[in-house]
Amino acid sequence: MTLLGLKSAKIYCLFFVLFVKRKFDKTKIMKKINLLLFLLSVGFLGISQTTIEVTSPNGGESFQPGQTVTINYTINNGLEFDSPELHYSIDGGLNYAMIALTTALPSSPPLVYTDSYSWTIPGGINSTNCLIQARLHRGGVGFISTDASDNLFTIQPPITSITLISPNGGESFQPGETINVDYICENGQANDDLLFYYSSDNGITYSSIGSHFFSAVPPVSFSGTLVWTIPGGINSTECLIRAEVYRTPGGIGVVAEDTVDNVFTIQPLITGITIISPNGGENFEPGETINVDYVCENCEVNDDIMLYYSIDNGLSYSSIGSDFLNVPPPASYSGALAWTIPGGINSIECLIRAEVYRTPGGVGVVANDTTDIIFTIQPPVTMVTLTSPNGGEVYEAGESIYVHFQFENGEVGDDLIFNYSIDGGTSYTLIGNKGYSSVPASIEIDSILWAIPSGINSTNCLVSCEIIRGTQIGTDTTDNSFTINLPASISESFFKDVSIYPNPFSNSTTLNLNGLKDVSINIYDLSGKIIYSKEAVNTSNYQIDLDVKQGVYFVELSSNKQVSTFKIIRK
């Protein structure tokens, strides 16, 4: 019988029912007819068998408890009263549990009927041996077809993990510093407690940092930060951080953990001090006030910066002073201590030493530095330099000239003794002396009047000066010899046409150079002090304005290595 014949038989049977007496139960009659038709089709007529087939999940999938998945199945050659049932197994098919009795097939279902069911996987399942089974039930007959997933699939809770992001190795921190411990927790659950620990001995022991408690279900991927103030007293290059996910419900305990990939460092900041100046090669004098400049790195409040000096290349030291830090200094603290160098020092082997003394806890010296190279502390060198005459000049016997000199670093009571020689320095005769009853300038420009004795006629003249401070401490001699001629010498002839008028004068006088060029003019008072000076005068009639008191003054003219002196009077 063909499928068309089977359906015609079915229609005939239904037509028959319409005419039976009302006392018959039509439902029971229909069940009988269906059974009859099923038997005819299967047992006697060779019509294709009704089957049910699970199409998904069909093996290899991975799901999680609580997840909703779609079960897809296909029914071939089903009838309208056929009813599918769905079951699952977590032990490879040894046992099955009911999922649902799904909706029966509709009237006149297609030969190939597909359907699906949304299944929320129960909690608590953890298996890699899961199967779905579909059973097709036909009323009055029972289960007529069964199928299961072709291969096993997995239902497991999501794997909880925790990963430490930072610090993760290689960093450097300091005790007391506050840092962020960053982490990511995957698939955490409500009531999980994230516990954090640190080690300073490469994981041999751990101490608690803190925790983060999930009071509600966290996101699948939870990024968190724990703020940690590093305890004081840690000094280690072998530090680690460890994180654990502790699951309280059911007493499960630690379900995930992580440790930083590499060790990191927690060490106190290294305190250092560097002397900036003086740092070697300088020259100072006793009594001079200088700044000792230094930079202190990572000093702390209550540190005392102690400064010392040595005059014997570090064999012994004496105190300069200190800088007490009574407030927290900046990380890089630049300081300066004013030091008045004690008198009496005369050394070329001087050093300065700086120490950072930490009082709290009795730590003591935590850093020090010494100038890189020795420097000098010496009294200033007292010296005299003869500037005129200094060689090549021409004077005449009986003439009065000024011996000019520069006196440096003199002291009260110093006496300058001037002598002259007419034989190139073989013998000397006293000119006079210049004493200082008050402190002279550090560089004193001065002169002494010398009345050249008559009768001298020499081209090998010299002037010398000695500094007497108890004993001789310095001397100088003109660089080259000069000439003293008898009267009517070259100098007289050279300046013979020069005149000064008016003389005596009131406020000004005029110097008639009568054509001389490059004339230098110096005017002295009776003490030898220069009160007027002019170089390279080329004006024939040169007016000199002098606001001086009444008295005698000397005008010294020099040109072309010729020198002559004129006396003028202020009335």
Round the average pLDDT of the chain to a whole number and report it. 89
The reported pLDDT for the residue numbered 529 is 84
The SS3 call for residue 112 is: strand
Residue 148 belongs to some domain of the structure: yes
Of the pLDDT bands very low, low, confident and very high (cuts 50, 70, 90), residue 21 is very low
- Considering the domain architecture, whether residues 165 and 244 belong to the same structural domain is answered as yes
Looking at the chain, the whole-number percentage of residues with pLDDT higher than 70 is 90
**What is the reported pLDDT for 30?**
52
Residue length of the chain: 571
Our count of domains for the chain comes to 6
Say if residue 481 is in the same domain as residue 504: no
- In angstroms, the Cα distances linking 125 to 76, 89, 156, 158, 312 are 32, 10, 6, 11, 87
pTM (2 d.p.):
0.48
Q: pLDDT tens for residues 133-192?
A: 999 999 888 999 999 999 999 999 889 999 999 999 999 999 989 999 999 999 998 999
Distant-in-sequence contacts of 529-532, Cβ < 8 A, 24+ apart: 529/446, 529/447, 530/445, 530/447
Phi, psi (degrees; rounded to nearest 5) at 543:
-85, 135
- Looking up residue 557, the CATH number of its domain turns out to be 2.60.40.3080
Q: Is the pLDDT of residue 361 over 90?
A: no
Give residue-wise pLDDT tens across range 71-110.
999 999 999 889 999 999 999 999 999 999 888 899 889 9
Rounded to a whole number, what is the largest CA-CA distance in the chain? 187
Structural domain ending residue among the three candidates 266, 289, 308 = 266
In this structure, the answer to whether residues 523 and 539 fall within a common structural domain is yes
Residue type for position 547? D
Other Cβ atoms less than 10 A from the Cβ of 404: the count is 21
Is the domain of 180 the same as that of 148?
no
Q: What is the mean pLDDT of the segment spanning 24-48?
A: 50
Residues 195 and 133 in one domain: no
440 and 512: one domain?
Answer: no
Q: Are residues 288 and 201 in the same domain?
A: no
Tell me which of 116, 135, 155 is where a domain ends.
155
pLDDT score for 487 = 73
One domain for residues 66 and 141: yes
d(CA 70, CA 53): 14
State how far the Cα of 533 lies from the Cα of 523, in Å rounded to an integer.
6
**Do 22 and 61 fall into the same domain?**
no
Q: Is residue 479 part of a domain?
A: yes
Q: What is the dihedral of CA 251, 253, 255, 261, to 10 degrees?
A: 170
Mean local confidence (pLDDT), 324-333: 93
Distance CA 556, CA 524 (A): 8
Residues 65 and 91 placed together within one structural domain of the fold: yes
With a cut of 60, say whether residue 43 has pLDDT above it: no
In Å, how far from its chain's centre is CA 146?
A: 75
The answer to whether residues 466 and 509 belong to one domain is: no
DSSP 540-561: SEEEEE----SEEEEEEEEETT
| Inside any domain, residue 490 | no
Sheet with 541-545: strands ordered across: 499-501, 508-512, 541-545
532 within domain boundaries:
yes
DSSP 238-287: EEEEEEEEEE-GGG-EEEEEEE-SS-EEE-PPPPEEEEEES-SS-EE-TT
The answer on 107 and 121 residing in a single domain is: yes
Nearest of 135, 139, 136, 103 to residue 118 by alpha carbon: 103
In a domain, 107, yes or no: yes
Q: Residues 382-413: pLDDT tens digits? A: 999 999 999 999 999 999 999 999 999 999 99
Domain span including residue 321: 272-377
Q: Which of 241, 266, 291 corresponds to the end of one domain?
A: 266
- pLDDT one-digit tens code per residue, 451-476: 999 889 999 999 999 999 999 999 99
Residue 136, domain member (yes or no): yes
Residue 43, number of CB atoms within 10 A of its CB: 9
Query: What pLDDT is attached to residue 96?
Result: 97
Q: What is the CATH number of the domain that holds 258?
A: 2.60.40.770
Per-residue pLDDT at 359: 81
- Domain of 444, CATH number, reads 2.60.40.10
